[in-house]
Structure 1
């Protein structure tokens, strides 16, 4: 149990200095100093002063064997006749106020003690908002129980600069980070205290380099690159095969439509990532021009994919060299455009991440999953090809399919289908 005692022999000094201030915790015992034994008094009177007047606690006439203690102090007040001090036990917040001890009859000396009974402060709760580079954020230190006289902040064990001093409002203190930057990273602590207790808690603060929108941009750009790379393999496979072993017929249709469709999706994803980037960072020529190119390539690759699926023989009837080049170069050009545009967005995201102090977004699982899913159709086509290899005989239909395959794999070549 907490016990507050007055050092003996200094009461006379306190008489001249004015009221004595004491603070005690709820439920503790506090010793209120009296007029010590050097004071020749005929009697001692203790009173509690409040706004409505005074309430007598006890009276001890000179020569009386014991003092008279008045309710509600009967069971929790202990008087020491030797120095006139008063011990109050199990004090509560309602006991806060001014206590006066008077010695002697009539105009004897008196001493006033201002007692403040406080609830100890509870452990502060320190939490932060979402902290992103270049965006405003805040740290909040809040105490649930106990009156708070002050809350002091430290960063990495050092006091905050004067310009960043937070404001205290009741039991809540807010530290504003406007805007947040890399130098704000570190360990923050807030110390809440009152006249009888203090509590401190700490929080490690990490400033994110990428906002939620930029993280989404990064993920979409990564998926677009993976789709483009898988599409590139689908375009390279027929070119690397010999004329005799080249994929023909239905397998060629499925391979061509899948690679063109996949690169079309990659263009759409990369275009979406560019829009999200400009939404966050603002318009930029380095993003707008690729967006226009990707929009054009999206339309062309979509037309090629749908034509290969539903009307593959149309490729053999193209007479315009410009149309042949457009159809032939659409998919490879889209692969290059997606890779370059996505690389720009990924590089920009990385530089933006370096402005914070968090770990870079791990996309390993995303890359592996996307690559595995997008490569499955190519593997299925490859397995079917090995099973049916050599079954296709030399016929007009096979020759037409071969010419179409050669045209798709080598853009810009002249149609050689015999009439």
Structure 2
């Protein structure tokens, strides 16, 4: 018969097996069977147990169980300077002795040794220890964390422009923040775009911003006791402030060019007898050339702003040179017509006459083509974002109304003059007809007066 003696292990029963029943067996270790209450738990520190509570609430700290009924119970707060007694409940005593600052806020439960803390504050955070039994017994440590509930996060964005970097910021004003999670259109962000938490602030970078970044973003701030979520609809602008200004200027230039074209077409479409002449022609020519000159200046300015934002381009530089030349020519024509109209009759060079005559129509065509290119380019640039396109309806209507008023005034003056001239011709015709009729009557025989006898 051989013996085995392994190291002592608590709660394990060892038996010696001998005889022929189990040949070759030396020893066996059956599974331990512990009856409840038969073997008390080992003495020592158990835990720690974690608890979290909101500021101003009540929290129940667990005790050691029913075995504290007949034994004394000691609750302590383990601060940085050492253990600080909260209460001591001797076994069989009528009531515990509660020490400040928990005198009015600690409520023990002798049945299980638990402790109810009321109106807890952030200063109550720390480690609590409950010890049961006289002369030192089992202990349980509880980690209590008293937190301020997180406030509603503030979610805002910087100016978000297509092709430019931008950011979304989620910031919590009150309460400790353990985590901030982001969602876009209800779905979590991809791991590569997950922002990092810095204190109570989380920043989501968009570099560069694209149309795909448009949507509804939400950030959820949370800690151990609460969470708050807020959302923001993000819109990516396709046009910057400078490009929007470029678009407005190009639209005004087109309207001025179209009104100028009407001023050039109307006199050409009239018959030779009804064509505008004299002072009305001079004012009409001056206004038409002046308006198309302003259109050239505006269109040239729009092209410069576009290149300032998007960089130099041959498609813009060449029209800029043409518009500069046409601006000078139309300005000279307008000033000459208004101040020295007789100088046109002294022009002997056919080339100069053609230049002066075709400057305004050529400028209209150049402004319309150049502005159309800028407007189309602005629209394509806008499509890279998801914002609404710039509404220029009011701008077009107001610009057309203001620029057409001088033409309307000149037209009314012409109609009044033409009506007056027509009435004068009608009166002259009536007088002439009456004279002819009288002459005809006097020429008939028998119409002469006879002398009385």
For normalisation by structure 2, the TM-score amounts to: 0.82
Q: Are the structure 2 counterparts of residues 210 and 10 from structure 1 closer, same or farther at C-alpha, using a change threshold of 3 Å?
A: farther
Work out whether residues 321 and 412 of structure 1, in 8 Å CA contact, stay in contact via their aligned partners in 2: no
Q: Are the structure 2 counterparts of residues 409 and 374 from structure 1 closer, same or farther at C-alpha, using a change threshold of 3 Å?
A: farther
Q: Which moved more, 1:16-25 or 1:388-397?
A: 388-397
Q: Are the structure 2 counterparts of residues 3 and 62 from structure 1 closer, same or farther at C-alpha, using a change threshold of 3 Å?
A: farther
**Using the alignment, how far apart are the partners of 1:266 and 1:416 within structure 2?**
80
Q: Which moved more, 1:383-392 or 1:291-300?
A: 383-392
Residues 1:390 and 2:420 aligned together: no
Q: Are the structure 2 counterparts of residues 32 and 118 from structure 1 closer, same or farther at C-alpha, using a change threshold of 3 Å?
A: same
Structure 1 residue 7: Cα displacement: 31
Structure 1 residue 18: Cα displacement: 2.7
Residue-by-residue CA offset, 1:209-242 (whole Å, 9 max, x unaligned) = 1111111110000000000000000001110111
Work out whether residues 69 and 91 of structure 2, in 8 Å CA contact, stay in contact via their aligned partners in 1: no
- Paired residue secondary structure (1:17): strand
Aligned to 1:3: 3
- Paired residue secondary structure (2:87): strand
Larger Rg over CA atoms = 2
Residue-by-residue CA offset, 1:363-414 (whole Å, 9 max, x unaligned) = 0000000000000110111111189998999999999999999999999999
Structure 1 gaps, min length 5: none
Work out whether residues 234 and 255 of structure 1, in 8 Å CA contact, stay in contact via their aligned partners in 2: yes
Note the aligned Cα RMSD (angstroms): 13.5
Structure 2 gaps, min length 5: 18-44, 415-419
Aligned to 2:446: 412
Work out whether residues 215 and 361 of structure 1, in 8 Å CA contact, stay in contact via their aligned partners in 2: yes
**Using the alignment, how far apart are the partners of 2:353 and 2:399 within structure 1?**
32
Structure 1 residue 168: Cα displacement: 1.3
Q: Are the structure 2 counterparts of residues 235 and 274 from structure 1 closer, same or farther at C-alpha, using a change threshold of 3 Å?
A: same
Residue-by-residue CA offset, 1:254-289 (whole Å, 9 max, x unaligned) = 110111000000000000100111111111100000
Work out whether residues 328 and 411 of structure 1, in 8 Å CA contact, stay in contact via their aligned partners in 2: no
Q: Are the structure 2 counterparts of residues 60 and 166 from structure 1 closer, same or farther at C-alpha, using a change threshold of 3 Å?
A: same
Residue-by-residue CA offset, 1:96-128 (whole Å, 9 max, x unaligned) = 111110001223111111111110000001001
- The aligned runs of 1:43-82 (5 Å cut-off) are 43-82=72-111
- Paired residue secondary structure (1:296): helix
Structure 1 residue 248: Cα displacement: 1.1
425, 435, 441: which one aligns with 1:401: 435
Work out whether residues 177 and 221 of structure 2, in 8 Å CA contact, stay in contact via their aligned partners in 1: yes
Residue-by-residue CA offset, 1:58-117 (whole Å, 9 max, x unaligned) = 000000011111112111110000000000000011111111100012231111111111
Q: Which moved more, 1:180-189 or 1:99-108?
A: 99-108
**Using the alignment, how far apart are the partners of 1:242 and 1:222 within structure 2?**
33
- Paired residue secondary structure (2:448): coil
Q: Which moved more, 1:34-43 or 1:269-278?
A: 34-43
Residue-by-residue CA offset, 1:167-214 (whole Å, 9 max, x unaligned) = 211111111100000000000000000110000000000101111111
Q: Which runs of 4+ in 1 moved over 4 A?
A: 1-17, 386-419
Q: Which moved more, 1:148-157 or 1:35-44?
A: 35-44
368, 372, 385: which one aligns with 2:397: 368
Residue-by-residue CA offset, 1:315-342 (whole Å, 9 max, x unaligned) = 1111111001100110000000000000
Give aligned pairs, total.
Answer: 419
**Using the alignment, how far apart are the partners of 1:267 and 1:413 within structure 2?**
75
Work out whether residues 3 and 29 of structure 1, in 8 Å CA contact, stay in contact via their aligned partners in 2: no
**Using the alignment, how far apart are the partners of 2:47 and 2:63 within structure 1?**
14
Q: Are the structure 2 counterparts of residues 177 and 4 from structure 1 closer, same or farther at C-alpha, using a change threshold of 3 Å?
A: farther
Work out whether residues 325 and 411 of structure 1, in 8 Å CA contact, stay in contact via their aligned partners in 2: no
Structure 1 residue 55: Cα displacement: 1.3
Q: Are the structure 2 counterparts of residues 280 and 64 from structure 1 closer, same or farther at C-alpha, using a change threshold of 3 Å?
A: same
Q: Which moved more, 1:66-75 or 1:367-376?
A: 66-75
Q: Are the structure 2 counterparts of residues 75 and 171 from structure 1 closer, same or farther at C-alpha, using a change threshold of 3 Å?
A: same
**Using the alignment, how far apart are the partners of 1:200 and 1:413 within structure 2?**
115
For normalisation by structure 1, the TM-score amounts to: 0.88
Q: Are the structure 2 counterparts of residues 195 and 83 from structure 1 closer, same or farther at C-alpha, using a change threshold of 3 Å?
A: same
Aligned to 1:226: 255
Q: Are the structure 2 counterparts of residues 42 and 380 from structure 1 closer, same or farther at C-alpha, using a change threshold of 3 Å?
A: same
Work out whether residues 182 and 356 of structure 1, in 8 Å CA contact, stay in contact via their aligned partners in 2: yes
